[in-house]
Amino acid sequence: MNKKLLSLILAVVLTGSLAGCSQKSPAAQPQTDSSEEAAGTAETAGEFPASENPDEWPAITVQVPVLSEMADEQMVEDALNEYLVSINAGVKADMVQMALGDLSTQLTLMLSDNQQPLDLFCWRFYSTLDGCVKNEQCIPLDPYLAVYPDLWKMYPGIVLKTQQISGVQYAVPSVDSYATYDVYALRKDVAEDLGIADRDGERITLDEMTQIMKGAKAAHPEFAYMINTNNEAVIGIDSLGNSNWLGVLMNRGVDTKEIVNLYETDEWREFCLRMKAWKDAGLMMDDPLNNEMTISQYNNGVSAGCYLGGYSPDYIKALIAYSPYEPIEFQLTDMVGTSASVLGGWMISTVCKEPDAAMKLLYLMATDEKVARYFILGIEGVHYSVDEKGIARRPEGVTQNNSTWNQDCPWFYPNQCLSIPLETEMVTYYTDMLDAPNHAEFSEAMGFVFDSAPVYDQMAACTTVVAEYRDALLYGLVDVDTYLKKFNEELKAAGIDEIIAEEQKQFDAWLAAQ
């Protein structure tokens, strides 16, 4: 899609009556007419036929994630559409670049625009499955289950359920490992100084990790050794999709069905005491409430250690290969999948005028290798070449920073595993990813989506309490027992018990229906 046209569309909408639609709450204004129109078309869905004249094929607008504007969009779009014509797809693609840093504004506007609609989009970084359904921004995909049976068979049933509400399929999951484990990553040069570089890949406890960090601090006091302690896997919870942890399953949801208040458990108190000890020992970053607590602090040399997650040691190393500091990995957790492990889902918008055509393109994005690679890598021979190992290589002199096509978001698309690894020595990058679920455990709540509407006020009140207290405990900034007592008293007053009772009620009903 022409960028000036997109800018004009956004400017017009921003100055019109839709200017206040950037909220993603359940109270957002519904788009009933467009939803009914699209859903009505989908109810009679069949295999999408191709008219004889490709010039008459519908052009489906599809979200393309970028970090900054990519100059070669038209070139890639033309090459993709030429291929779609060659296979008589019956549909063409109209790529719409969207900056990851501004998804909320762009998507909210385009998902409200009947004149220039966005047809296919992914909820990742924008909202949640539940949020898009409540805001009536997507249509049900159930009519297409029988039309494209090979698409749905690609996914484990437990994964498909994560993209359902009340048993209705609303999104095609983004293919991934669906399960991860976490490691403590310590800079290799520091590990070598400590004489522990040969322990790469070893499983350790948090007590052993603490000793490693203390030893590193003694040898290299100039570094911090932990960044973000807000790690659900290390804490050992399935948050049920709520980042404020207002009702969780312990043990990451494996072999447990009791939803509890994490903040009043012994496990949480012990974790907070450990964070306080880390802070007192100088292991944490300074001023965590005002600093950027991301992997960038490892890459820029402020912290010599951090948490990383993935499905294999090689994958984690490939993930961090761009960093100037190679890590030694110490495994902390088992490989477990929760609903949060399914990181995105692709939807057809309610403003889409050709939902059958949109579903056909989505099907091809998820099942056709050439279609997937145009989106993920661009044009072979222009944006990449393939070496003798089957690895994609950028042209000489081209980097992530000056590339004219974004190749750094394969995980955003419906099926990254149709692509090939980019600029890595890990030839099994995607084959190992596909195999990962065979070696994982899964939460009992995988696929459960909590409807918070019955306890909306309590959720809002408890969210405010968590914002006031939790980070200070996570970063060891306060006396644990004094602060934790006040924290729990205010959570009780705000209604956390009612939230957990409603969660348990819905979870029990969901389990009974499985």
Q: Are 35 and 139 in contact (CB under 8 A)?
A: yes
Q: Which two tokens stand for residue 115?
A: 């004149």
| 3-state secondary structure at position 437 | helix
Residue with tokens 């195999």: 435
Q: Which residue in 50, 95, 123 sits closest to 360, CA to CA?
A: 50
User: Which stretch of DSSP H or E encloses residue 65?
Assistant: strand 59-66
CA distance 310 to 181: 6
Residue 272: CB partners within 8 Å, gap ≥ 6? 473, 474, 476, 480, 484
CATH topology of domain 3-9+28-175+343-377: D-Maltodextrin-Binding Protein; domain 2 (3.40.190)
Q: Please, which residues bridge with residue 331 across strands?
A: 183, 203
CATH of domain 181-341: 3.40.190.10
Handedness of CA 377, 380, 385, 386 (dihedral sign): positive
| 3-state secondary structure at position 306 | strand
Q: Do domains 3-9+28-175+343-377 and 181-341 have the same CATH topology?
A: yes
Cα within 13 Å of Cα(361), Cβ side: 32
Predicted confidence at residue 1, as pLDDT, reads 57
What ranges make up the beta strands (E) of 75-119? 92-99
User: Pairing relation of β-strands 327-331 and 336-337?
Assistant: unpaired
Predicted confidence at residue 360, as pLDDT, reads 97
Q: Where are the domains of the chain?
A: 3-9+28-175+343-377, 181-341, 453-513
CA distance 465 to 459: 10
Predicted confidence at residue 340, as pLDDT, reads 85
425-459 b/e (C-beta count within 10 Å ≥ 16 → b)? ebeebbebbbebbeebebbbbbbbbbebeebeebb
Task: For residue 88, give the amino acid letter.
Answer: N
Show pLDDT as tens, one digit a residue, over the chain (514 residues).
Answer: 544 334 433 333 333 333 333 333 333 333 333 333 333 344 445 577 888 899 999 999 999 999 889 999 999 999 999 999 999 999 999 999 999 888 888 899 999 988 889 999 999 999 999 999 999 999 999 999 999 999 999 999 899 999 999 899 999 999 999 999 999 999 999 999 999 999 999 999 999 999 999 999 999 999 999 999 999 999 999 999 899 999 999 999 999 999 999 999 999 999 999 999 999 999 999 998 888 888 999 999 999 999 999 999 999 998 888 899 999 999 999 999 998 889 899 999 999 999 999 999 999 999 999 999 999 999 999 999 999 999 999 999 998 889 999 999 999 999 999 999 999 999 999 999 999 999 999 999 999 989 999 999 999 999 999 999 999 999 999 999 999 999 999 999 999 999 999 999 999 999 999 8
